[in-house]
Amino acid sequence: MNGQLGIVGASGFIGRELARQAAEAGWVVHGFSRTERAASGAIAHWREWTEAPDFAGLDAIVNLAGEPVNQRWTKARQRLFRDSRIGVTERIAAGIGRLSGSGRPSVLVNASAVGIYGNRGDELLDESSAPGCGYLADLCRDWEDAADRVAELGPRVLKWRIGIVLGRDGDAFRQMLIPFRLGLGGRLGSGQQWMPWIHVEDLAASILHGIGRSGLHGAVNGSSPQPERNIDFTRKLGAALRRPALLPVPAIGLRALLGDFAGVILASQRVIPRVLLENEFHFRYPTLELALSDLLTSSSSS
Ligand SMILES: NC(=O)c1ccc[n+]([C@@H]2O[C@H](COP(=O)([O-])OP(=O)(O)OC[C@H]3O[C@@H](n4cnc5c(N)ncnc54)[C@H](OP(=O)(O)O)[C@@H]3O)[C@@H](O)[C@H]2O)c1
């Protein structure tokens, strides 16, 4: 399937990779942004982001908007977290609702996050697992509920529960490299927590795969088939960088440094992408070793 694809959050880390792959696959990409931008590269047209955006002519929409949560969770920021997720999804519903039934896009992929599962120890989590507890789990549940309301307007809705996305331009990976460069790499907290990671290329490719599977709807875990415990992730990253990973960071230090966000880093989510595996998605980077080898080979970070 290809045609006209709208990406909300197209200027972001994941949005840029999705736009690149979609354009390469023959989609005409329309980006939505709060900032005026000139068409360039993969994004053929930019459209204005409004209370009820203009989605005319689009076959599919992917919503990747979201104020980053890797910062201190002040009350003001918590309002931004909600508005940029639930509020944005509600505005997408308003934009789709303005169109006549036959003019509506046939599919919406709405971002969500593995944070919906909360902190679950060694439990294997697939899309049928119940949501967990805590601030992020509640936020993701409300975000997915808002996406479900779009399904009532006609489009097939996929809720993409995104894991920790690894890419050269991504905050998560960049921040992981900093302590190693300083020789200060080490496990976080006990190191026993499971990390559901995914290479950004696989994430974007899997979203396009999901758009093309007309029978697929509902929740989809966007993470690799081999999550890693933090201690193993740290060891493998240290080995790939040829830097020691000997200095553990205690949970209490993380909490002092990062506030509530430390809870996200210390939470354990052993997530399996069952829906993607059952729907014949081929991961180019199924193992962390393959992902790190790709990401560190062509970057200047080693
Ligand atoms: N990266 C990860 O590891 C990860 C993990 C789990 C979930 N996710 C989720 O995946 C989505 C994309 O992540 P990312 O890493 O690509 O984020 P990003 O680089 O921070 O980009 C987010 C985009 O959202 C748009 N945006 C922010 N607030 C908005 C608002 N109030 N209204 C409309 N647009 C808004 C921005 O577009 P403009 O400034 O151009 O308007 C920006 O380009 C987010 O929802 C994030 O929570 C990411």
Residue boundaries of the structural domains of the chain: 4-297
The string of DSSP letters for 138-179 reads HHHHHHHHHHHHHHTTS-EEEEEEE-EEE-TT-HHHHHHHHH
pLDDT score, position 300: 43
Tokens coding 176: 């992981």
Does the CB atom of residue 111 touch ligand 1 within 6 A? yes
| pLDDT tens-digit series, residues 146-162 | 999 999 999 999 999 99
Residue whose C-alpha is closest to residue 33's, from 18, 15, 21, 20: 15
Determine the pLDDT at residue 298.
65
Architecture of the domain made up of 4-297: 3-Layer(aba) Sandwich (3.40)
113 C-beta closer than 6 A to ligand 1 = yes
Pocket test for ligand 1, best of 14, 69, 160, 169 (most atoms within 8 A of CB): 14
The pTM of the whole model exceeds 0.85: yes
Q: Is 67 in the pocket of ligand 1 (CB under 6 A)?
A: yes
Q: For residue 27, give the DSSP letter.
A: P
- Ligand 1 centroid, distance to 137 Cα (angstroms): 17
pLDDT score recorded for residue 77? 97
Looking from the CA of residue 69, the nearest atom of ligand 1 is: 47
Predicted pLDDT of residue 39: 87
71 lines ligand 1 (CB under 6 A): no
Mean pLDDT per block of 10 residues along the chain (302 residues) reads: 94 98 98 93 96 98 97 96 98 98 97 98 98 97 98 98 97 92 91 98 98 98 98 96 91 91 95 98 98 83 38
